[in-house]
Amino acid sequence: MNKEDLIQKWLDHNLNPTELEAFKKLEDYPSLIKLDQELAGFQSYKMDEDKVFDQVLKSIESKKRSSGKLISVLSKIAAILVIGFGIYFYTTTLDTTTSTIVSQQKTMVLPDASEVKLNAMSTLSFNEFNWNDSRDINLNGEAFLRLPKEKHLT
């Protein structure tokens, strides 16, 4: 029997007594025995394939759940932002209203630097958001308007 076959049978633990004697006479015998003794400490990890497969499936399921949570959180954030922008837009487009009570006078400056002096029991409202497009003023009562020199009524 040749050297490679003996070594292969020895690795498979399949030597009969005569082959064992022939193996011991090989010049590589001491090195092979020493190598076998050193490798005895290196045992491979025995794993249960079914258990590992179940762990992988659980990991995949947890990733799916976490992505569902992420979508839920992102949709909540988006809803908050939409509501916030809606409130901001609504409040900025509201009319600005100023009123006076009995025996009170109030001075206010309009967005185009015009000055309005409200007399007692008067109310003035205008839309500051739309001022460049439409300079509509609603006045109930008495007021004195002072326009800047460069501005003209149109």
Most confident of 34-38, 67-71, 97-101: 97-101
User: Mean pLDDT across the stretch 89-104?
Assistant: 85
The answer to whether the CB of 151 falls within 8 A of the CB of 125 is no
The whole-number pLDDT of residue 106 equals 92
Look up the CATH architecture of domain 96-146: Sandwich (2.60)
User: Residue 139 — left, alpha, or beta (φ > 0 → left; ψ -120 to 50 → alpha)?
Assistant: beta
pLDDT tens per residue across span 98-145: 899 988 899 988 888 889 999 999 999 888 887 888 888 889 999 998
Domain boundaries defined on the chain: 3-39, 46-92, 96-146
Distance of alpha carbon 4 from alpha carbon 22, whole angstroms: 12
